[in-house]
Structure 1
Amino acid sequence: MELRQLRSFVVTAERQHFGRAAHALHLTTSSLSQQMRTLERDLQVALFDRGPHGTSLTPAGQILLVHARILLARAERTRDAVRDTQPPLPLVTVRLGTGLPAVLAPALVLLRERTGLVVDGAEAPESDAVAAVAQERADAAVVWAGADVDGLERSPLGTVGLLLAVPPGHPLDRPGGCPRASLAGHRILTTPPLHRALHRTGSDLDTVCVTDPTGRPTGELRRQVLNRQGLGLVVDPGRGRAEGLALCALTPPVRLRTEILFRDSADAIVRELAEALRHPVPPVPGGFEPARAAAAAVHR
Protein backbone atom coordinates (compact mmCIF):
# COMPACT_ATOMS: atom_id res chain seq x y z
CA MET A 1 0.00 0.00 0.00
CA GLU A 2 1.59 3.26 -1.19
CA LEU A 3 0.89 6.89 -0.38
CA ARG A 4 0.27 7.46 -4.10
CA GLN A 5 -2.52 4.87 -4.00
CA LEU A 6 -4.00 6.39 -0.85
CA ARG A 7 -4.07 9.88 -2.42
CA SER A 8 -5.84 8.49 -5.46
CA PHE A 9 -8.25 6.57 -3.25
CA VAL A 10 -9.19 9.67 -1.22
CA VAL A 11 -9.81 11.76 -4.34
CA THR A 12 -11.93 8.99 -5.88
CA ALA A 13 -13.92 8.57 -2.67
CA GLU A 14 -14.57 12.32 -2.48
CA ARG A 15 -15.55 12.67 -6.17
CA GLN A 16 -17.61 9.44 -6.15
CA HIS A 17 -16.80 9.06 -9.84
CA PHE A 18 -13.73 7.55 -11.47
CA GLY A 19 -13.80 9.91 -14.45
CA ARG A 20 -13.97 13.09 -12.35
CA ALA A 21 -11.33 11.74 -9.96
CA ALA A 22 -9.00 10.84 -12.82
CA HIS A 23 -9.35 14.36 -14.24
CA ALA A 24 -8.49 15.89 -10.85
CA LEU A 25 -5.45 13.60 -10.53
CA HIS A 26 -4.30 14.17 -14.14
CA LEU A 27 -4.60 10.45 -14.85
CA THR A 28 -6.52 8.42 -17.38
CA THR A 29 -9.62 6.68 -16.06
CA SER A 30 -8.15 3.27 -16.87
CA SER A 31 -4.91 4.08 -15.00
CA LEU A 32 -6.85 5.21 -11.91
CA SER A 33 -9.10 2.16 -12.08
CA GLN A 34 -6.03 -0.10 -12.22
CA GLN A 35 -4.54 1.65 -9.18
CA MET A 36 -7.72 1.05 -7.19
CA ARG A 37 -7.93 -2.60 -8.32
CA THR A 38 -4.34 -3.12 -7.17
CA LEU A 39 -5.10 -1.50 -3.81
CA GLU A 40 -8.16 -3.71 -3.36
CA ARG A 41 -6.09 -6.81 -4.16
CA ASP A 42 -3.39 -5.78 -1.67
CA LEU A 43 -5.97 -5.24 1.06
CA GLN A 44 -8.10 -8.22 -0.03
CA VAL A 45 -11.33 -6.21 0.25
CA ALA A 46 -13.66 -4.36 -2.08
CA LEU A 47 -13.42 -0.61 -1.48
CA PHE A 48 -15.99 0.64 -4.00
CA ASP A 49 -19.46 -0.29 -5.14
CA ARG A 50 -19.21 0.55 -8.83
CA GLY A 51 -22.34 1.63 -10.71
CA PRO A 52 -23.17 3.12 -14.12
CA HIS A 53 -23.56 6.64 -12.68
CA GLY A 54 -20.71 6.71 -10.18
CA THR A 55 -19.22 4.91 -7.19
CA SER A 56 -19.88 4.65 -3.48
CA LEU A 57 -17.73 3.30 -0.68
CA THR A 58 -18.21 -0.11 0.82
CA PRO A 59 -17.98 -0.38 4.64
CA ALA A 60 -14.32 -1.31 4.23
CA GLY A 61 -13.81 1.72 1.98
CA GLN A 62 -15.35 4.02 4.57
CA ILE A 63 -12.92 2.75 7.21
CA LEU A 64 -9.96 3.15 4.87
CA LEU A 65 -11.01 6.73 4.02
CA VAL A 66 -10.71 7.78 7.68
CA HIS A 67 -7.28 6.21 8.10
CA ALA A 68 -6.01 7.29 4.68
CA ARG A 69 -6.73 10.95 5.46
CA ILE A 70 -4.86 10.67 8.76
CA LEU A 71 -1.86 8.95 7.12
CA LEU A 72 -1.68 11.50 4.29
CA ALA A 73 -1.85 14.42 6.72
CA ARG A 74 0.99 12.93 8.77
CA ALA A 75 3.01 12.28 5.63
CA GLU A 76 2.60 15.92 4.58
CA ARG A 77 3.80 17.10 7.99
CA THR A 78 6.78 14.75 7.85
CA ARG A 79 7.75 15.95 4.39
CA ASP A 80 7.50 19.62 5.38
CA ALA A 81 9.53 19.04 8.54
CA VAL A 82 12.49 17.48 6.73
CA ARG A 83 12.37 19.33 3.38
CA ASP A 84 14.67 22.13 4.49
CA THR A 85 17.83 22.01 6.57
CA GLN A 86 16.77 25.29 8.17
CA PRO A 87 14.75 25.12 11.40
CA PRO A 88 11.18 24.36 10.29
CA LEU A 89 8.57 27.07 10.71
CA PRO A 90 5.52 26.12 12.77
CA LEU A 91 2.97 24.51 10.46
CA VAL A 92 -0.73 24.73 11.25
CA THR A 93 -3.31 22.92 9.13
CA VAL A 94 -6.71 24.58 8.96
CA ARG A 95 -9.93 23.47 7.28
CA LEU A 96 -12.12 26.31 6.04
CA GLY A 97 -15.87 25.68 5.78
CA THR A 98 -17.41 26.04 2.33
CA GLY A 99 -17.55 29.70 1.30
CA LEU A 100 -15.02 30.92 3.85
CA PRO A 101 -11.82 30.83 1.74
CA ALA A 102 -13.18 33.77 -0.29
CA VAL A 103 -12.80 36.06 2.70
CA LEU A 104 -10.25 34.37 4.97
CA ALA A 105 -7.56 33.34 2.49
CA PRO A 106 -6.00 36.86 2.52
CA ALA A 107 -5.74 36.74 6.31
CA LEU A 108 -4.00 33.37 6.20
CA VAL A 109 -1.46 34.72 3.71
CA LEU A 110 -0.68 37.64 6.03
CA LEU A 111 -0.07 35.39 9.03
CA ARG A 112 3.31 34.16 7.82
CA GLU A 113 4.65 37.72 7.71
CA ARG A 114 3.10 38.70 11.04
CA THR A 115 3.60 35.58 13.15
CA GLY A 116 5.96 33.23 11.30
CA LEU A 117 3.20 30.62 11.16
CA VAL A 118 2.91 28.56 7.99
CA VAL A 119 -0.81 27.95 7.52
CA ASP A 120 -2.04 25.18 5.24
CA GLY A 121 -5.65 26.16 4.62
CA ALA A 122 -7.97 23.93 2.60
CA GLU A 123 -11.71 24.22 1.93
CA ALA A 124 -13.90 21.39 3.20
CA PRO A 125 -17.59 20.75 3.83
CA GLU A 126 -18.56 21.70 7.37
CA SER A 127 -18.97 18.13 8.61
CA ASP A 128 -15.56 17.10 7.25
CA ALA A 129 -13.89 20.25 8.59
CA VAL A 130 -15.13 19.38 12.10
CA ALA A 131 -14.19 15.70 11.69
CA ALA A 132 -10.71 16.63 10.46
CA VAL A 133 -9.98 18.40 13.76
CA ALA A 134 -11.53 15.65 15.89
CA GLN A 135 -9.55 12.97 14.02
CA GLU A 136 -6.29 14.99 14.20
CA ARG A 137 -6.14 15.42 10.43
CA ALA A 138 -6.13 19.18 10.99
CA ASP A 139 -5.14 21.48 13.84
CA ALA A 140 -8.12 23.81 13.54
CA ALA A 141 -11.21 24.56 11.49
CA VAL A 142 -13.07 27.77 10.71
CA VAL A 143 -16.80 27.19 10.24
CA TRP A 144 -20.06 29.07 10.31
CA ALA A 145 -21.21 29.47 13.93
CA GLY A 146 -23.49 26.91 15.53
CA ALA A 147 -22.11 23.72 13.99
CA ASP A 148 -22.26 20.52 16.03
CA VAL A 149 -18.74 20.27 17.50
CA ASP A 150 -18.95 17.83 20.42
CA GLY A 151 -15.57 17.38 22.10
CA LEU A 152 -13.92 20.44 20.53
CA GLU A 153 -13.30 23.94 21.81
CA ARG A 154 -15.00 26.74 19.92
CA SER A 155 -14.07 30.40 19.95
CA PRO A 156 -15.78 33.35 18.18
CA LEU A 157 -13.73 34.55 15.24
CA GLY A 158 -15.70 37.27 13.49
CA THR A 159 -18.56 37.89 11.11
CA VAL A 160 -18.84 37.71 7.33
CA GLY A 161 -21.07 40.00 5.32
CA LEU A 162 -23.48 38.58 2.76
CA LEU A 163 -24.48 40.38 -0.41
CA LEU A 164 -27.44 40.17 -2.75
CA ALA A 165 -26.53 38.82 -6.19
CA VAL A 166 -28.71 40.10 -9.05
CA PRO A 167 -28.41 40.24 -12.84
CA PRO A 168 -26.58 43.35 -14.08
CA GLY A 169 -28.99 46.25 -14.43
CA HIS A 170 -31.58 44.75 -12.07
CA PRO A 171 -33.79 47.37 -10.34
CA LEU A 172 -32.45 46.29 -6.91
CA ASP A 173 -28.85 47.06 -7.93
CA ARG A 174 -28.77 50.47 -6.24
CA PRO A 175 -25.70 52.56 -5.36
CA GLY A 176 -26.95 53.23 -1.83
CA GLY A 177 -27.69 49.60 -1.07
CA CYS A 178 -30.82 47.49 -1.23
CA PRO A 179 -33.30 47.70 1.68
CA ARG A 180 -34.09 44.24 3.00
CA ALA A 181 -37.78 45.15 2.97
CA SER A 182 -37.63 45.26 -0.84
CA LEU A 183 -36.87 41.53 -0.94
CA ALA A 184 -40.48 40.70 -0.03
CA GLY A 185 -42.04 38.54 -2.73
CA HIS A 186 -38.70 37.56 -4.26
CA ARG A 187 -37.27 34.03 -4.27
CA ILE A 188 -33.99 34.24 -2.35
CA LEU A 189 -31.43 31.61 -3.35
CA THR A 190 -28.34 30.59 -1.41
CA THR A 191 -25.90 27.70 -1.10
CA PRO A 192 -26.39 24.83 1.38
CA PRO A 193 -23.72 26.02 3.88
CA LEU A 194 -25.18 29.55 4.04
CA HIS A 195 -28.74 28.20 4.15
CA ARG A 196 -27.87 26.06 7.20
CA ALA A 197 -25.97 28.89 8.89
CA LEU A 198 -28.85 31.34 8.40
CA HIS A 199 -31.28 28.78 9.78
CA ARG A 200 -29.12 28.26 12.88
CA THR A 201 -29.09 31.99 13.60
CA GLY A 202 -32.88 32.25 13.33
CA SER A 203 -32.61 34.68 10.40
CA ASP A 204 -35.84 36.24 9.18
CA LEU A 205 -34.75 35.69 5.56
CA ASP A 206 -36.63 32.84 3.89
CA THR A 207 -34.00 31.32 1.60
CA VAL A 208 -34.10 28.48 -0.91
CA CYS A 209 -31.18 26.03 -0.84
CA VAL A 210 -29.65 25.61 -4.32
CA THR A 211 -27.79 22.44 -5.27
CA ASP A 212 -27.08 20.62 -8.50
CA PRO A 213 -25.86 17.14 -9.49
CA THR A 214 -22.31 18.31 -10.19
CA GLY A 215 -21.80 19.44 -6.59
CA ARG A 216 -21.16 23.06 -7.67
CA PRO A 217 -24.06 24.96 -6.08
CA THR A 218 -22.55 28.35 -6.90
CA GLY A 219 -22.73 27.50 -10.59
CA GLU A 220 -26.39 26.58 -10.37
CA LEU A 221 -27.14 29.65 -8.24
CA ARG A 222 -25.49 31.88 -10.82
CA ARG A 223 -27.46 30.24 -13.63
CA GLN A 224 -30.79 30.75 -11.87
CA VAL A 225 -30.02 34.36 -10.97
CA LEU A 226 -28.99 35.20 -14.54
CA ASN A 227 -32.19 33.53 -15.78
CA ARG A 228 -34.17 35.69 -13.33
CA GLN A 229 -35.44 32.67 -11.41
CA GLY A 230 -34.52 34.29 -8.10
CA LEU A 231 -32.05 36.54 -6.30
CA GLY A 232 -28.87 35.17 -4.73
CA LEU A 233 -27.49 35.61 -1.22
CA VAL A 234 -23.74 35.05 -1.32
CA VAL A 235 -20.53 35.59 0.61
CA ASP A 236 -19.01 39.00 -0.08
CA PRO A 237 -15.86 38.34 -2.14
CA GLY A 238 -14.69 41.92 -1.72
CA ARG A 239 -14.75 42.74 -5.42
CA GLY A 240 -18.24 44.20 -5.95
CA ARG A 241 -19.00 41.74 -8.76
CA ALA A 242 -18.81 37.96 -9.08
CA GLU A 243 -19.01 35.81 -12.23
CA GLY A 244 -21.08 38.32 -14.21
CA LEU A 245 -23.49 39.15 -11.37
CA ALA A 246 -23.99 42.49 -9.68
CA LEU A 247 -23.49 42.35 -5.90
CA CYS A 248 -25.57 44.70 -3.78
CA ALA A 249 -25.19 45.65 -0.13
CA LEU A 250 -28.26 45.03 2.01
CA THR A 251 -29.57 47.48 4.59
CA PRO A 252 -29.59 46.59 7.37
CA PRO A 253 -26.66 44.29 6.53
CA VAL A 254 -26.83 40.52 6.78
CA ARG A 255 -23.85 39.10 8.65
CA LEU A 256 -23.06 35.56 9.72
CA ARG A 257 -20.84 34.65 12.63
CA THR A 258 -17.81 32.39 12.25
CA GLU A 259 -15.98 30.29 14.82
CA ILE A 260 -12.58 28.64 15.03
CA LEU A 261 -12.54 25.09 16.38
CA PHE A 262 -9.65 23.19 17.91
CA ARG A 263 -9.02 20.28 20.26
CA ASP A 264 -8.81 20.73 24.02
CA SER A 265 -5.16 19.71 23.78
CA ALA A 266 -4.31 22.33 21.15
CA ASP A 267 -0.84 23.74 21.63
CA ALA A 268 0.11 27.39 21.90
CA ILE A 269 0.66 27.73 18.14
CA VAL A 270 -2.97 26.91 17.37
CA ARG A 271 -4.20 29.36 20.01
CA GLU A 272 -1.85 31.98 18.56
CA LEU A 273 -3.46 31.38 15.17
CA ALA A 274 -6.94 31.91 16.63
CA GLU A 275 -5.86 35.17 18.23
CA ALA A 276 -4.17 36.41 15.04
CA LEU A 277 -7.27 35.71 12.93
CA ARG A 278 -9.42 37.62 15.39
CA HIS A 279 -7.31 40.75 14.87
CA PRO A 280 -6.18 40.83 11.22
CA VAL A 281 -3.96 43.76 10.26
CA PRO A 282 -4.38 45.22 7.69
CA PRO A 283 -8.16 44.64 7.49
CA VAL A 284 -9.24 41.61 5.50
CA PRO A 285 -11.24 42.34 2.33
CA GLY A 286 -14.53 40.63 1.64
CA GLY A 287 -16.71 41.85 4.50
CA PHE A 288 -14.93 40.05 7.36
CA GLU A 289 -15.05 41.82 10.71
CA PRO A 290 -13.03 40.40 13.62
CA ALA A 291 -14.96 39.34 16.70
CA ARG A 292 -13.72 42.19 18.90
CA ALA A 293 -15.09 44.85 16.56
CA ALA A 294 -18.10 43.01 15.24
CA ALA A 295 -19.93 41.75 18.31
CA ALA A 296 -22.67 44.35 17.91
CA ALA A 297 -22.94 43.94 14.15
CA VAL A 298 -24.57 40.51 14.07
CA HIS A 299 -28.14 40.76 12.73
CA ARG A 300 -30.50 37.94 13.51
Structure 2
Amino acid sequence: MTTQDKHTAHVTWFVDEAGDPTLFGKGGKVVAATDGCSRFFIAGKLECRDVQALTSDLDRLRSDLLSDPFFKDVPSLDPARKRTAVHFHAKDDPPEVRFLVYKLLAKHDLRFVAVVRDKLRLLDYAQQRRRIDPAYRYDPDGHELYDELTRHLFSRMHGLNHHKIVFAQRGHKPRTKAFVDAIEHEHDTIPEEFGLARPKPTEVLCSFPKDHAGLQAVDYYLWALQRFYERSEVRYLNFVWPQILEVLDLDLPQGASQFKQQSTVFNQEHPLTLESRAGVGKKDREI
Protein backbone atom coordinates (compact mmCIF):
# COMPACT_ATOMS: atom_id res chain seq x y z
CA MET A 1 0.00 0.00 0.00
CA THR A 2 1.44 3.39 -0.98
CA THR A 3 1.70 6.38 1.35
CA GLN A 4 -1.18 8.01 -0.50
CA ASP A 5 -3.32 4.88 -0.12
CA LYS A 6 -2.66 4.85 3.63
CA HIS A 7 -3.99 8.39 3.93
CA THR A 8 -7.10 7.79 1.83
CA ALA A 9 -8.03 4.24 2.90
CA HIS A 10 -11.26 3.90 4.83
CA VAL A 11 -10.47 2.82 8.38
CA THR A 12 -12.74 1.93 11.28
CA TRP A 13 -11.72 2.17 14.92
CA PHE A 14 -13.47 -0.16 17.37
CA VAL A 15 -13.35 0.98 21.01
CA ASP A 16 -14.03 -0.96 24.20
CA GLU A 17 -12.82 -1.31 27.79
CA ALA A 18 -11.53 -3.93 30.20
CA GLY A 19 -11.83 -4.01 33.95
CA ASP A 20 -14.32 -1.96 35.93
CA PRO A 21 -14.19 1.67 37.12
CA THR A 22 -15.29 0.88 40.69
CA LEU A 23 -13.28 2.33 43.59
CA PHE A 24 -15.76 2.27 46.48
CA GLY A 25 -18.42 -0.10 47.72
CA LYS A 26 -21.22 0.31 50.21
CA GLY A 27 -20.53 2.82 52.95
CA GLY A 28 -17.58 4.22 51.05
CA LYS A 29 -15.46 1.11 51.65
CA VAL A 30 -12.49 0.84 49.27
CA VAL A 31 -12.95 -2.17 47.02
CA ALA A 32 -10.53 -1.40 44.17
CA ALA A 33 -8.10 -4.29 43.61
CA THR A 34 -10.00 -6.57 45.99
CA ASP A 35 -11.65 -9.90 45.16
CA GLY A 36 -14.11 -9.39 42.31
CA CYS A 37 -12.96 -5.84 41.54
CA SER A 38 -10.16 -5.06 39.10
CA ARG A 39 -7.06 -3.05 39.96
CA PHE A 40 -6.70 -1.66 36.44
CA PHE A 41 -9.10 0.00 34.04
CA ILE A 42 -8.13 -0.18 30.37
CA ALA A 43 -9.55 1.44 27.25
CA GLY A 44 -8.48 0.24 23.82
CA LYS A 45 -9.11 0.94 20.16
CA LEU A 46 -8.56 -1.43 17.27
CA GLU A 47 -7.86 -0.19 13.76
CA CYS A 48 -9.45 -2.31 11.04
CA ARG A 49 -9.01 -1.63 7.32
CA ASP A 50 -11.21 -4.44 6.02
CA VAL A 51 -14.23 -4.86 8.28
CA GLN A 52 -16.03 -7.07 5.79
CA ALA A 53 -13.18 -9.60 5.67
CA LEU A 54 -12.92 -9.70 9.46
CA THR A 55 -16.67 -10.13 9.80
CA SER A 56 -16.79 -12.92 7.24
CA ASP A 57 -13.96 -14.84 8.88
CA LEU A 58 -15.38 -14.59 12.42
CA ASP A 59 -18.86 -15.55 11.20
CA ARG A 60 -17.41 -18.54 9.35
CA LEU A 61 -15.47 -19.64 12.42
CA ARG A 62 -18.57 -19.40 14.61
CA SER A 63 -20.57 -21.41 12.12
CA ASP A 64 -17.88 -24.11 12.00
CA LEU A 65 -17.81 -24.29 15.80
CA LEU A 66 -21.57 -24.64 16.05
CA SER A 67 -21.54 -27.54 13.59
CA ASP A 68 -18.54 -29.29 15.16
CA PRO A 69 -19.53 -32.30 17.34
CA PHE A 70 -16.57 -31.58 19.64
CA PHE A 71 -18.35 -28.45 20.93
CA LYS A 72 -21.83 -29.98 21.05
CA ASP A 73 -22.26 -29.85 24.84
CA VAL A 74 -20.17 -26.75 25.56
CA PRO A 75 -22.48 -24.36 27.50
CA SER A 76 -21.24 -21.13 25.90
CA LEU A 77 -21.98 -22.56 22.44
CA ASP A 78 -25.60 -23.19 23.35
CA PRO A 79 -27.55 -20.59 21.29
CA ALA A 80 -30.03 -20.19 24.15
CA ARG A 81 -27.27 -18.77 26.36
CA LYS A 82 -26.45 -16.04 23.79
CA ARG A 83 -22.72 -16.18 24.38
CA THR A 84 -20.14 -17.68 22.00
CA ALA A 85 -22.95 -18.92 19.76
CA VAL A 86 -23.96 -15.28 19.18
CA HIS A 87 -20.67 -13.38 19.45
CA PHE A 88 -17.10 -14.02 20.59
CA HIS A 89 -16.17 -12.76 24.04
CA ALA A 90 -12.77 -13.77 25.40
CA LYS A 91 -13.87 -14.11 29.03
CA ASP A 92 -16.77 -16.44 28.15
CA ASP A 93 -15.23 -18.40 25.27
CA PRO A 94 -13.71 -21.85 25.96
CA PRO A 95 -9.89 -22.01 25.72
CA GLU A 96 -10.08 -24.01 22.48
CA VAL A 97 -12.23 -21.30 20.91
CA ARG A 98 -9.96 -18.57 22.25
CA PHE A 99 -6.99 -20.21 20.56
CA LEU A 100 -8.77 -20.30 17.20
CA VAL A 101 -9.93 -16.69 17.45
CA TYR A 102 -6.43 -15.42 18.26
CA LYS A 103 -4.99 -17.38 15.32
CA LEU A 104 -7.63 -15.87 13.05
CA LEU A 105 -7.03 -12.29 14.25
CA ALA A 106 -3.29 -12.64 13.61
CA LYS A 107 -4.04 -13.07 9.90
CA HIS A 108 -5.78 -9.69 9.60
CA ASP A 109 -4.38 -6.19 9.19
CA LEU A 110 -5.28 -4.96 12.68
CA ARG A 111 -3.56 -2.40 14.91
CA PHE A 112 -4.29 -1.95 18.62
CA VAL A 113 -3.73 1.00 20.98
CA ALA A 114 -4.55 1.03 24.70
CA VAL A 115 -4.50 3.36 27.69
CA VAL A 116 -4.14 1.88 31.19
CA ARG A 117 -5.11 3.45 34.52
CA ASP A 118 -4.04 2.02 37.88
CA LYS A 119 -7.10 2.40 40.10
CA LEU A 120 -5.01 2.50 43.26
CA ARG A 121 -3.36 5.67 41.95
CA LEU A 122 -6.78 6.95 40.97
CA LEU A 123 -7.99 6.15 44.48
CA ASP A 124 -5.25 8.36 45.93
CA TYR A 125 -6.37 11.20 43.67
CA ALA A 126 -10.06 10.77 44.59
CA GLN A 127 -9.30 10.74 48.31
CA GLN A 128 -7.03 13.78 48.12
CA ARG A 129 -9.57 15.70 46.09
CA ARG A 130 -12.29 14.79 48.61
CA ARG A 131 -10.16 16.21 51.41
CA ILE A 132 -9.74 19.46 49.48
CA ASP A 133 -13.35 19.60 48.30
CA PRO A 134 -15.80 17.73 50.61
CA ALA A 135 -18.52 18.09 47.95
CA TYR A 136 -16.53 16.01 45.45
CA ARG A 137 -17.89 12.55 44.68
CA TYR A 138 -16.16 10.01 42.48
CA ASP A 139 -18.44 8.96 39.62
CA PRO A 140 -19.37 5.32 40.46
CA ASP A 141 -20.42 4.66 36.85
CA GLY A 142 -16.94 5.56 35.63
CA HIS A 143 -18.08 8.04 32.98
CA GLU A 144 -15.44 10.56 34.05
CA LEU A 145 -12.71 7.91 33.98
CA TYR A 146 -13.83 6.42 30.66
CA ASP A 147 -13.99 9.84 29.02
CA GLU A 148 -10.49 10.65 30.29
CA LEU A 149 -9.09 7.49 28.73
CA THR A 150 -11.02 8.15 25.51
CA ARG A 151 -9.36 11.54 25.23
CA HIS A 152 -5.96 9.90 25.62
CA LEU A 153 -6.80 7.25 23.03
CA PHE A 154 -7.72 9.81 20.40
CA SER A 155 -4.89 12.18 21.18
CA ARG A 156 -2.66 9.40 19.86
CA MET A 157 -3.74 9.42 16.25
CA HIS A 158 -1.11 7.22 14.54
CA GLY A 159 -2.00 8.54 11.11
CA LEU A 160 -4.89 10.27 9.40
CA ASN A 161 -7.19 7.35 8.66
CA HIS A 162 -9.81 7.12 11.42
CA HIS A 163 -12.95 7.78 9.38
CA LYS A 164 -15.43 5.82 11.48
CA ILE A 165 -15.48 5.02 15.21
CA VAL A 166 -17.63 2.33 16.81
CA PHE A 167 -17.81 2.31 20.63
CA ALA A 168 -19.08 -0.64 22.61
CA GLN A 169 -22.15 0.62 24.43
CA ARG A 170 -21.74 0.99 28.18
CA GLY A 171 -24.84 0.70 30.33
CA HIS A 172 -28.38 1.08 29.07
CA LYS A 173 -28.05 4.44 27.35
CA PRO A 174 -25.66 5.23 24.49
CA ARG A 175 -23.26 8.07 25.29
CA THR A 176 -22.41 8.98 21.70
CA LYS A 177 -22.34 12.72 22.37
CA ALA A 178 -19.91 12.28 25.27
CA PHE A 179 -17.58 10.26 23.06
CA VAL A 180 -17.77 12.80 20.26
CA ASP A 181 -17.07 15.63 22.72
CA ALA A 182 -14.04 13.79 24.10
CA ILE A 183 -12.64 13.18 20.60
CA GLU A 184 -13.31 16.72 19.41
CA HIS A 185 -11.66 18.08 22.57
CA GLU A 186 -8.42 16.44 21.46
CA HIS A 187 -8.77 17.78 17.92
CA ASP A 188 -9.18 21.28 19.30
CA THR A 189 -6.26 21.12 21.75
CA ILE A 190 -3.63 19.41 19.58
CA PRO A 191 -1.89 21.85 17.21
CA GLU A 192 -1.96 21.20 13.48
CA GLU A 193 1.07 19.40 12.12
CA PHE A 194 2.81 20.35 8.91
CA GLY A 195 -0.04 22.75 8.15
CA LEU A 196 -2.59 19.91 7.96
CA ALA A 197 -5.66 19.89 10.19
CA ARG A 198 -6.34 16.61 11.94
CA PRO A 199 -9.39 14.98 10.33
CA LYS A 200 -12.54 14.34 12.32
CA PRO A 201 -14.41 11.03 12.01
CA THR A 202 -17.21 10.86 9.49
CA GLU A 203 -19.31 8.75 11.86
CA VAL A 204 -19.33 7.89 15.57
CA LEU A 205 -21.76 5.35 16.95
CA CYS A 206 -22.37 3.16 20.00
CA SER A 207 -23.33 -0.44 19.41
CA PHE A 208 -23.13 -3.99 20.71
CA PRO A 209 -20.48 -6.67 20.04
CA LYS A 210 -23.03 -9.03 18.49
CA ASP A 211 -23.54 -6.46 15.73
CA HIS A 212 -19.86 -5.70 15.03
CA ALA A 213 -17.05 -8.18 14.50
CA GLY A 214 -14.58 -5.40 15.30
CA LEU A 215 -15.97 -5.03 18.82
CA GLN A 216 -15.55 -8.77 19.33
CA ALA A 217 -11.97 -8.48 18.08
CA VAL A 218 -10.98 -5.51 20.25
CA ASP A 219 -12.32 -7.41 23.28
CA TYR A 220 -9.73 -10.11 22.61
CA TYR A 221 -6.84 -7.65 22.56
CA LEU A 222 -8.11 -6.00 25.74
CA TRP A 223 -8.47 -9.37 27.45
CA ALA A 224 -4.85 -10.25 26.60
CA LEU A 225 -3.66 -6.94 28.06
CA GLN A 226 -5.88 -7.30 31.12
CA ARG A 227 -4.47 -10.78 31.85
CA PHE A 228 -1.00 -9.26 31.78
CA TYR A 229 -1.84 -6.42 34.16
CA GLU A 230 -4.09 -8.28 36.56
CA ARG A 231 -2.42 -11.71 36.59
CA SER A 232 1.08 -11.17 35.17
CA GLU A 233 0.15 -13.64 32.43
CA VAL A 234 2.26 -12.95 29.35
CA ARG A 235 1.47 -15.53 26.68
CA TYR A 236 -1.63 -13.86 25.26
CA LEU A 237 0.00 -10.44 25.19
CA ASN A 238 3.12 -11.87 23.57
CA PHE A 239 1.03 -13.44 20.83
CA VAL A 240 -0.83 -10.23 19.89
CA TRP A 241 2.13 -7.89 20.51
CA PRO A 242 3.12 -7.68 16.79
CA GLN A 243 -0.26 -6.00 16.16
CA ILE A 244 0.02 -3.52 19.03
CA LEU A 245 1.07 0.02 18.16
CA GLU A 246 1.39 1.19 21.73
CA VAL A 247 0.22 0.92 25.31
CA LEU A 248 0.13 4.14 27.33
CA ASP A 249 0.48 3.38 31.04
CA LEU A 250 -0.77 6.56 32.69
CA ASP A 251 0.32 5.70 36.21
CA LEU A 252 3.76 4.25 35.61
CA PRO A 253 6.35 7.05 36.00
CA GLN A 254 9.43 6.96 33.77
CA GLY A 255 11.63 7.73 36.76
CA ALA A 256 11.65 7.76 40.54
CA SER A 257 11.81 11.54 40.76
CA GLN A 258 8.58 13.48 41.08
CA PHE A 259 9.84 15.61 38.21
CA LYS A 260 9.90 12.69 35.80
CA GLN A 261 7.12 12.22 33.26
CA GLN A 262 4.23 10.51 35.07
CA SER A 263 3.40 7.99 32.35
CA THR A 264 5.16 5.43 30.19
CA VAL A 265 4.66 4.44 26.56
CA PHE A 266 5.29 0.85 25.51
CA ASN A 267 5.62 0.12 21.78
CA GLN A 268 7.57 -2.03 19.33
CA GLU A 269 10.81 -0.24 20.25
CA HIS A 270 10.03 -0.51 23.98
CA PRO A 271 7.98 -3.72 24.41
CA LEU A 272 5.70 -4.29 27.36
CA THR A 273 7.04 -7.19 29.41
CA LEU A 274 7.02 -8.06 33.09
CA GLU A 275 10.67 -7.00 33.20
CA SER A 276 10.25 -3.72 31.33
CA ARG A 277 7.26 -2.67 33.42
CA ALA A 278 8.94 -3.58 36.70
CA GLY A 279 12.24 -2.07 35.59
CA VAL A 280 11.02 1.38 34.51
CA GLY A 281 13.01 3.96 36.45
CA LYS A 282 15.58 1.38 37.67
CA LYS A 283 18.47 3.33 36.17
CA ASP A 284 17.26 6.53 37.82
CA ARG A 285 17.11 4.85 41.23
CA GLU A 286 20.66 3.55 40.88
CA ILE A 287 22.14 6.97 40.09
Q: Same fold (TM over 0.5)?
A: no
Q: Which has the higher contact order (CA 8 A, sep 6+)?
A: 2
TM range (shorter): under 0.3
Radius of gyration: which is bigger? 1
